[in-house]
Each structure stands twice: as structure tokens, then as C-alpha cells.
């Protein structure tokens, strides 16, 4: 029963993380690339303030729940379930590492800009942010797919 509850929490938390990636695939990336500097900076400030306040708890819950599921499946799960949950955990850690080393430092720089005062090469930093996020998308989408595959087929 504890495995099922923990797996449920892991799936919900991981799905919130991966939903951000899917929204970027569907619309947010192209939308941001079409924004002028003023609009982009206002958008980034608003999004970053909300993400800083709320998203870390989802990441913490997902990491803890996915690690716990991986540990619990070692004694009671199939080989496929163990492999899938372990892969999902590693992918989540990789996503978090790219966030910490890539996106968050860029956010910190962008948060010093105002809509009226920003560097001439602002779009270069936007491109770097999107590049880091693209790697995060790869990690969290493949990790989530692995976790779901483990539940369905494991």
C-alpha cells in the first residue's frame, strides 16, 4: 500500500514538472521568441517570481517520492519497474542539475534587468536560457515516460 501511495505522489508531482515542458513545446517557446525585449523581461520577471515561490516544493516532492518508489521497488517490484523508476529518478536529478547550473543563474541575471534598461545582447541570454530548458525538457519528458511505462508495464 505504501508503494502505491508513494507512486501516486511521484506521478502527480512529476506530471506537474513535465507539464511545463509540454507547454513550452506547444506554445511558450515560440511565444517567447516572438517577444520584444520589454515584453520578454516583464514576462520573465512575473514567471520567475511565481516559479521561485512555488515550483521548488513540486521538485522536492517529486525527487523524494521518485527515490522512495525506486527504493521500495527494489524489494517488491519487477526488473522493469526497478529500471524505469531508477531511470525516472536519474532523469529528474539531471533536470534539477541543469536548472541549478543553467537556468537559475540566467534567471538571476535577467532579474537584474528592467523593461527599460537591459543589455543590447539580451536575446543571446534568452537563447541560452531556452537551450538549457531544452535539455531539461529531454530529461524530464523521458523520465516521466519511463515512470509511466514502469507503472503500466512493470
> Alpha helix (H) ranges present in the chain?
2-23, 29-33, 37-76, 79-98, 104-110, 122-153
Instruction: Quote the pLDDT of residue 76.
Output: 80
Tell me how far apart the alpha carbons of residues 29 and 134 are, in angstroms, rounded to a whole number: 10
Rounded CA separation 123/86 (Å): 37
pLDDT 10s digits, 74-108: 988 789 999 999 999 999 999 999 999 999 999 99
Q: Which residue bears the cell 537563447?
A: 127
State pLDDT tens for residues 11-55.
Answer: 999 999 999 999 999 999 999 999 999 999 999 999 999 998 899
> What pLDDT does residue 77 have?
72
Give the global pTM. Answer: 0.92
Rounded to whole angstroms, how far apart are CA atoms 86 and 143? 9
Amino acid at each position: 500500500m505504501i508503494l502505491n501511495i508513494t507512486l501516486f505522489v511521484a506521478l502527480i508531482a512529476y506530471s506537474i514538472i513535465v507539464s511545463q515542458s509540454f507547454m513550452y513545446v506547444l506554445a511558450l517557446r515560440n511565444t517567447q521568441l516572438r517577444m520584444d525585449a520589454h515584453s520578454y523581461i516583464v514576462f520573465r520577471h512575473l514567471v520567475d517570481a511565481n516559479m521561485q515561490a512555488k515550483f521548488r516544493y513540486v521538485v522536492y516532492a517529486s525527487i523524494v517520492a521518485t527515490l522512495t518508489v525506486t527504493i521500495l521497488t527494489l524489494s517488491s517490484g519487477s526488473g522493469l519497474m526497478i529500471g524505469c523508476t531508477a531511470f525516472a529518478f536519474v532523469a529528474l536529478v539531471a533536470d534539477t542539475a541543469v536548472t541549478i547550473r543553467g537556468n537559475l543563474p540566467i534567471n538571476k541575471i535577467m532579474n537584474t534587468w528592467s523593461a527599460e534598461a537591459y543589455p543590447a545582447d539580451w536575446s543571446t541570454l534568452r537563447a541560452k536560457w531556452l537551450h538549457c530548458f531544452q535539455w531539461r525538457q529531454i530529461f524530464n519528458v523521458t523520465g516521466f515516460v519511463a515512470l509511466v511505462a514502469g507503472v503500466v508495464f512493470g
